Structure 1
Protein backbone atom coordinates (compact mmCIF):
# COMPACT_ATOMS: atom_id res chain seq x y z
CA UNK A 1 0.00 0.00 0.00
CA UNK A 2 1.43 3.38 -0.92
CA UNK A 3 1.65 6.27 1.51
CA UNK A 4 -1.10 8.31 -0.18
CA UNK A 5 -3.53 5.39 0.10
CA UNK A 6 -2.60 4.90 3.75
CA UNK A 7 -3.12 8.60 4.46
CA UNK A 8 -6.50 8.54 2.70
CA UNK A 9 -7.47 5.54 4.84
CA UNK A 10 -6.53 7.38 8.07
CA UNK A 11 -8.59 10.43 7.05
CA UNK A 12 -11.58 8.27 6.13
CA UNK A 13 -11.34 6.35 9.39
CA UNK A 14 -11.40 9.57 11.43
CA UNK A 15 -14.30 10.84 9.29
CA UNK A 16 -16.35 7.67 9.78
CA UNK A 17 -15.39 7.20 13.46
CA UNK A 18 -14.84 10.72 14.82
CA UNK A 19 -13.14 11.09 18.19
CA UNK A 20 -14.65 13.73 20.49
CA UNK A 21 -17.68 14.44 18.29
CA UNK A 22 -20.83 15.70 19.95
CA UNK A 23 -20.99 18.81 22.09
CA UNK A 24 -20.59 18.03 25.77
CA UNK A 25 -21.49 20.18 28.78
CA UNK A 26 -18.82 21.71 30.95
CA UNK A 27 -16.91 23.72 28.43
CA UNK A 28 -15.08 26.88 29.43
CA UNK A 29 -15.52 28.42 25.98
CA UNK A 30 -17.49 27.76 22.81
CA UNK A 31 -16.76 29.09 19.34
CA UNK A 32 -18.39 28.69 15.95
CA UNK A 33 -16.26 28.87 12.80
CA UNK A 34 -17.32 28.70 9.16
CA UNK A 35 -15.21 28.20 6.06
CA UNK A 36 -16.97 30.52 3.61
CA UNK A 37 -15.14 28.96 0.67
CA UNK A 38 -16.86 25.58 0.98
CA UNK A 39 -19.44 25.93 3.76
CA UNK A 40 -17.76 23.69 6.34
CA UNK A 41 -18.83 24.62 9.88
CA UNK A 42 -17.76 23.68 13.37
CA UNK A 43 -18.99 24.56 16.84
CA UNK A 44 -16.24 23.65 19.28
CA UNK A 45 -16.13 23.64 23.07
CA UNK A 46 -12.98 23.48 25.12
CA UNK A 47 -12.74 22.60 28.80
CA UNK A 48 -9.52 23.51 30.56
CA UNK A 49 -8.42 22.27 33.95
CA UNK A 50 -5.79 24.79 34.93
CA UNK A 51 -3.18 24.52 32.19
CA UNK A 52 -4.43 21.16 30.90
CA UNK A 53 -6.86 20.61 28.02
CA UNK A 54 -9.44 18.47 29.81
CA UNK A 55 -11.86 18.07 26.88
CA UNK A 56 -12.58 19.20 23.36
CA UNK A 57 -16.02 18.48 21.95
CA UNK A 58 -17.52 19.63 18.70
CA UNK A 59 -20.36 19.48 16.22
CA UNK A 60 -19.12 19.67 12.65
CA UNK A 61 -20.68 19.73 9.21
CA UNK A 62 -18.74 19.58 6.02
CA UNK A 63 -16.26 17.56 4.05
CA UNK A 64 -14.37 14.52 5.25
CA UNK A 65 -11.14 16.53 5.56
CA UNK A 66 -12.57 19.11 7.97
CA UNK A 67 -14.36 16.51 10.08
CA UNK A 68 -11.39 14.12 10.18
CA UNK A 69 -9.12 16.99 11.16
CA UNK A 70 -11.37 17.78 14.16
CA UNK A 71 -11.13 14.13 15.24
CA UNK A 72 -7.32 14.17 14.97
CA UNK A 73 -7.20 17.46 16.89
CA UNK A 74 -9.16 15.83 19.72
CA UNK A 75 -6.67 12.96 19.89
CA UNK A 76 -3.66 15.27 19.87
CA UNK A 77 -4.67 17.86 22.47
CA UNK A 78 -6.97 16.32 25.09
CA UNK A 79 -5.03 15.46 28.21
CA UNK A 80 -2.06 17.60 27.22
CA UNK A 81 -0.95 20.97 28.53
CA UNK A 82 -2.20 24.04 26.71
CA UNK A 83 1.43 24.85 25.82
CA UNK A 84 1.93 21.41 24.24
CA UNK A 85 -1.42 21.69 22.45
CA UNK A 86 -0.39 25.04 20.97
CA UNK A 87 2.96 23.57 19.85
CA UNK A 88 1.06 20.76 18.13
CA UNK A 89 -1.26 23.33 16.53
CA UNK A 90 1.78 25.22 15.21
CA UNK A 91 3.27 22.01 13.78
CA UNK A 92 -0.02 21.15 12.06
CA UNK A 93 -0.39 24.68 10.72
CA UNK A 94 3.19 24.60 9.40
CA UNK A 95 2.44 21.30 7.65
CA UNK A 96 -0.75 22.69 6.11
CA UNK A 97 0.88 25.89 4.90
CA UNK A 98 3.97 24.10 3.55
CA UNK A 99 2.44 23.33 0.13
CA UNK A 100 3.55 19.72 0.44
CA UNK A 101 7.18 20.67 1.10
CA UNK A 102 7.17 20.18 4.89
CA UNK A 103 8.16 16.80 6.30
CA UNK A 104 5.73 16.08 9.16
CA UNK A 105 7.00 14.89 12.53
CA UNK A 106 5.04 11.72 13.25
CA UNK A 107 5.90 11.83 16.96
CA UNK A 108 4.21 15.23 17.25
CA UNK A 109 1.37 14.90 14.74
CA UNK A 110 0.61 11.17 14.90
CA UNK A 111 -2.41 10.64 12.57
CA UNK A 112 -2.12 14.32 11.61
CA UNK A 113 0.63 13.35 9.18
CA UNK A 114 -2.13 11.96 6.97
CA UNK A 115 -2.96 15.55 6.02
CA UNK A 116 0.45 16.10 4.37
CA UNK A 117 -1.10 15.50 0.95
CA UNK A 118 -3.89 17.99 1.66
CA UNK A 119 -1.27 20.75 1.91
CA UNK A 120 -0.78 20.51 -1.86
CA UNK A 121 -4.34 21.73 -2.44
CA UNK A 122 -4.79 25.32 -1.17
CA UNK A 123 -8.59 25.11 -1.26
CA UNK A 124 -8.49 22.11 1.09
CA UNK A 125 -6.01 23.62 3.56
CA UNK A 126 -8.75 25.81 5.03
CA UNK A 127 -10.87 22.69 5.53
CA UNK A 128 -8.09 20.97 7.47
CA UNK A 129 -7.34 24.05 9.57
CA UNK A 130 -10.95 24.95 10.47
CA UNK A 131 -11.14 22.99 13.73
CA UNK A 132 -7.60 23.99 14.73
CA UNK A 133 -8.36 27.70 14.39
CA UNK A 134 -11.59 27.19 16.34
CA UNK A 135 -9.59 25.40 19.06
CA UNK A 136 -7.08 28.26 19.19
CA UNK A 137 -9.89 30.82 19.60
CA UNK A 138 -11.69 28.74 22.24
CA UNK A 139 -8.51 28.35 24.31
CA UNK A 140 -7.90 32.11 24.09
CA UNK A 141 -11.46 32.77 25.30
CA UNK A 142 -11.17 30.25 28.12
CA UNK A 143 -7.82 31.67 29.21
CA UNK A 144 -9.31 35.17 29.12
CA UNK A 145 -12.10 34.07 31.48
CA UNK A 146 -9.52 32.63 33.88
CA UNK A 147 -7.65 35.95 33.90
CA UNK A 148 -10.76 37.90 34.93
Structure 2
Protein backbone atom coordinates (compact mmCIF):
# COMPACT_ATOMS: atom_id res chain seq x y z
CA UNK A 1 0.00 0.00 0.00
CA UNK A 2 1.41 3.37 -1.00
CA UNK A 3 1.63 6.14 1.55
CA UNK A 4 -0.27 9.31 0.80
CA UNK A 5 1.61 12.59 0.50
CA UNK A 6 0.22 13.61 3.90
CA UNK A 7 1.39 10.34 5.50
CA UNK A 8 4.84 10.97 4.05
CA UNK A 9 4.85 14.50 5.45
CA UNK A 10 3.87 13.23 8.90
CA UNK A 11 6.53 10.53 8.70
CA UNK A 12 9.14 13.16 7.84
CA UNK A 13 8.13 15.32 10.82
CA UNK A 14 8.45 12.30 13.13
CA UNK A 15 11.82 11.32 11.69
CA UNK A 16 13.10 14.89 11.93
CA UNK A 17 12.14 15.13 15.62
CA UNK A 18 13.75 11.76 16.29
CA UNK A 19 16.96 12.50 14.38
CA UNK A 20 17.23 16.10 15.61
CA UNK A 21 15.37 16.16 18.92
CA UNK A 22 14.50 19.52 20.42
CA UNK A 23 15.35 20.12 24.10
CA UNK A 24 17.43 16.94 24.38
CA UNK A 25 19.94 16.95 27.21
CA UNK A 26 20.14 18.06 30.82
CA UNK A 27 18.38 21.03 32.39
CA UNK A 28 20.58 22.76 35.00
CA UNK A 29 17.71 24.65 36.67
CA UNK A 30 15.35 21.69 36.93
CA UNK A 31 12.62 21.93 39.56
CA UNK A 32 10.75 18.76 38.54
CA UNK A 33 12.44 15.57 37.40
CA UNK A 34 11.29 12.04 36.68
CA UNK A 35 12.58 8.96 34.88
CA UNK A 36 10.19 6.46 33.33
CA UNK A 37 10.83 3.18 31.57
CA UNK A 38 8.71 1.31 29.07
CA UNK A 39 9.31 -2.32 30.04
CA UNK A 40 7.63 -3.54 26.85
CA UNK A 41 10.33 -2.21 24.54
CA UNK A 42 13.07 -0.85 26.81
CA UNK A 43 12.60 2.89 26.17
CA UNK A 44 13.96 5.04 29.01
CA UNK A 45 13.08 8.71 29.37
CA UNK A 46 14.27 11.24 31.92
CA UNK A 47 12.22 14.43 31.89
CA UNK A 48 13.34 17.63 33.58
CA UNK A 49 11.20 20.75 33.92
CA UNK A 50 11.86 24.22 35.23
CA UNK A 51 8.57 25.41 36.70
CA UNK A 52 8.28 28.92 38.07
CA UNK A 53 5.13 30.72 39.18
CA UNK A 54 2.93 27.98 37.77
CA UNK A 55 4.52 28.13 34.29
CA UNK A 56 6.85 25.65 32.59
CA UNK A 57 9.79 27.91 31.76
CA UNK A 58 11.96 25.19 30.23
CA UNK A 59 12.00 21.46 29.59
CA UNK A 60 14.58 18.87 28.60
CA UNK A 61 14.67 15.12 28.15
CA UNK A 62 17.33 12.49 27.91
CA UNK A 63 17.44 8.74 27.64
CA UNK A 64 17.05 6.38 24.75
CA UNK A 65 14.33 4.71 22.81
CA UNK A 66 12.67 4.14 19.50
CA UNK A 67 11.90 6.76 16.89
CA UNK A 68 8.35 7.24 18.16
CA UNK A 69 9.29 7.76 21.82
CA UNK A 70 12.11 10.17 21.01
CA UNK A 71 10.03 12.16 18.53
CA UNK A 72 7.12 12.33 20.95
CA UNK A 73 9.38 13.65 23.73
CA UNK A 74 10.81 16.29 21.39
CA UNK A 75 7.36 17.39 20.29
CA UNK A 76 6.03 17.38 23.85
CA UNK A 77 8.82 19.61 25.15
CA UNK A 78 8.22 22.05 22.29
CA UNK A 79 4.52 22.13 23.10
CA UNK A 80 4.71 22.72 26.86
CA UNK A 81 7.40 25.36 27.26
CA UNK A 82 5.83 28.64 28.44
CA UNK A 83 2.54 26.91 29.21
CA UNK A 84 0.78 27.09 32.55
CA UNK A 85 1.09 23.83 34.49
CA UNK A 86 -2.68 23.26 34.31
CA UNK A 87 -2.72 23.80 30.55
CA UNK A 88 0.21 21.44 30.04
CA UNK A 89 -1.46 18.76 32.15
CA UNK A 90 -4.66 19.20 30.11
CA UNK A 91 -2.55 18.66 26.98
CA UNK A 92 -1.57 15.26 28.40
CA UNK A 93 -5.24 14.25 28.41
CA UNK A 94 -5.79 15.54 24.87
CA UNK A 95 -2.73 13.59 23.68
CA UNK A 96 -3.84 10.44 25.53
CA UNK A 97 -7.33 10.63 24.04
CA UNK A 98 -5.92 11.27 20.55
CA UNK A 99 -3.46 8.39 20.71
CA UNK A 100 -6.19 5.85 21.51
CA UNK A 101 -8.20 7.04 18.54
CA UNK A 102 -10.68 9.43 20.13
CA UNK A 103 -11.79 12.41 18.07
CA UNK A 104 -10.29 15.43 19.86
CA UNK A 105 -9.21 18.95 19.00
CA UNK A 106 -5.46 18.50 18.59
CA UNK A 107 -4.50 22.10 17.81
CA UNK A 108 -3.01 22.55 21.32
CA UNK A 109 -0.49 19.76 20.69
CA UNK A 110 1.60 21.42 17.99
CA UNK A 111 3.68 18.94 16.00
CA UNK A 112 2.63 16.15 18.37
CA UNK A 113 -0.70 15.99 16.56
CA UNK A 114 1.08 14.12 13.75
CA UNK A 115 1.41 11.17 16.11
CA UNK A 116 -2.34 10.59 15.77
CA UNK A 117 -1.60 7.78 13.31
CA UNK A 118 0.06 5.76 16.09
CA UNK A 119 -3.46 4.83 17.21
CA UNK A 120 -3.47 2.34 14.31
CA UNK A 121 -0.50 0.52 15.88
CA UNK A 122 -1.43 -0.52 19.45
CA UNK A 123 2.06 -1.85 20.17
CA UNK A 124 3.48 1.66 19.66
CA UNK A 125 1.03 3.55 21.89
CA UNK A 126 3.21 3.09 24.99
CA UNK A 127 6.17 4.46 23.05
CA UNK A 128 4.25 7.58 22.03
CA UNK A 129 2.79 8.21 25.49
CA UNK A 130 5.94 7.70 27.59
CA UNK A 131 6.99 11.37 27.56
CA UNK A 132 3.44 12.55 28.17
CA UNK A 133 3.04 10.22 31.15
CA UNK A 134 6.33 11.53 32.50
CA UNK A 135 5.04 15.08 32.09
CA UNK A 136 1.83 14.31 33.99
CA UNK A 137 3.63 12.50 36.79
CA UNK A 138 6.23 15.25 37.08
CA UNK A 139 3.59 17.97 37.26
CA UNK A 140 1.52 16.07 39.82
CA UNK A 141 4.54 14.92 41.87
CA UNK A 142 3.95 11.23 41.21
CA UNK A 143 7.19 9.26 41.18
CA UNK A 144 5.71 6.05 39.74
After superposition, what is the alpha-carbon deviation per residue over 1:45-96, rounded to whole angstroms, capped at 9, x for unaligned?
A: 1110111011111102010100000000011101011111112111111111
TM-score (norm 2): 0.90
Residues 78, 96 of structure 1: alpha-carbon distance in 2 compared, 3 angstrom cutoff? same
Which of the residues 38, 42, 64 maps onto 1:39?
Answer: 42
Does 1:27 find its partner at 2:30?
yes
Aligned with 1:141: secondary structure? coil
Structure 1: how far apart are the matches of 2:39 and 2:50? 27
After superposition, what is the alpha-carbon deviation per residue over 1:108-132, rounded to whole angstroms, capped at 9, x for unaligned?
A: 1221121111111111000000011
Aligned with 2:140: secondary structure? helix
Aligned with 1:18: secondary structure? coil
After TM superposition, the structure 1 = structure 2 runs for residues 1-148 of structure 1, keeping only pairs within 5 Å, are 2-98=5-101, 102-103=102-103, 105-141=105-141
Cα RMSD for the two superposed structures: 1.5
Question: What number of residue pairs does the alignment pair up?
Answer: 139
Structure 2: how far apart are the matches of 1:15 and 1:33? 18
